[in-house]
Amino acid sequence: MSNSWGSVGTRWLGAGLAAVLAVVTLGLAATGRLALYINPDQAWFAVGMAVLALVGAVASFLLPLGAEADHGHDHGHDHGHETPEPARSVARAERAKRAEPHRALPLGAIAAATGGTLASAVAVAALVLPPASLSVDLAMARDTGTAPLFAGADEVLLASTDTSDFGVGDWASVFSTATSPDAYEGTRVTLTGFVTPDETDDQTLRLGRLVITHCVIDAQPASLPVVSPDWQDALDVGGWIEVEGVVTTDASGALVIEPSGISPVAPPDDPYEY
């Protein structure tokens, strides 16, 4: 009986968990919510791997339960020749050892059981809990004041680049690395993000957004300074806003946004930039 339960556990931790995660991935893709977890450009790969995993999991049921534990220790005969006595003795010893009752669980078994339980809990939670985006609080906790590492390409540093499609992440890269800030002065922007405070200037709010390169694990916060002396009276930290304005420089020569309008908006369906 214990061997049967062990085989069931092995099957669950392998094919079972793979099948659950594959179903979750395909369900998110079918409902258009996979972008809450990965970059949409990577969706084709995730869906393809999920299909392969599901096919493999289904095919694994063709293997008899417990067959994965049979490593062929006792072959009896090899191409018509009798197995040498030493080999048969080793096989019998291994079978006897497996048949002996275990008085105490080894450390490896305890670790495997703990890991399997945690992995099962994560897989089941992914299956039953509704998908959700990362929170603004998490973005604020991750914010170190630096631009996202992979936000935009090298071309964002060139003043001749078309900035009409720039998001918060692209502009954050420009603001932090531009060697000629005045080249961007007067550029009109319309950007959407969440409100975070500027720790060094209470006359300025920071417009934030999470930027994803591959998946939510590597999500990095990006933020832009928006000059708005009375923002704390009209806006809530963590609330989403749309900012219309122009890029300019402050007294120290750093790039900031001078807004012509700030409007509260509902959180977007896809809260990330890529």
Could you state, in order of their start, the residue ranges of all structural domains in the chain? 2-70+101-128, 137-273
Distance CA 274, CA 148 (A): 11
Flag whether pLDDT at 246 surpasses 60.
yes
Closest of 213, 216, 226 to residue 171, by C-alpha: 226
State both tokens at 30.
Answer: 């079918």
How does pLDDT run across 34-90, given as a tens digit for each residue? 777 777 777 888 888 888 888 887 777 776 655 555 544 444 444 455 545 555 555
Residue with tokens 């990965």: 38
The pLDDT, as a whole number, for residue 84 is 53
Flag whether pLDDT at 91 surpasses 70.
no
DSSP H/E element including 256: strand 255-264
- CB of 205 within 8 A of CB of 226? yes
Distances from the Cα of 221 to the Cαs of 85, 155, 231, in angstroms? 67, 21, 21
Band (167; pLDDT cuts 50, 70, 90): very high
How does pLDDT run across 102-117, given as a tens digit for each residue? 455 566 666 666 666 7
Flag whether pLDDT at 222 surpasses 80.
yes
How does pLDDT run across 181-208, given as a tens digit for each residue? 888 899 999 999 999 999 889 999 999 9
Q: Considering the entire predicted model, what is its pTM? A: 0.60
CATH topology of domain 137-273: OB fold (Dihydrolipoamide Acetyltransferase, E2P) (2.40.50)
Flag whether pLDDT at 242 surpasses 90.
yes
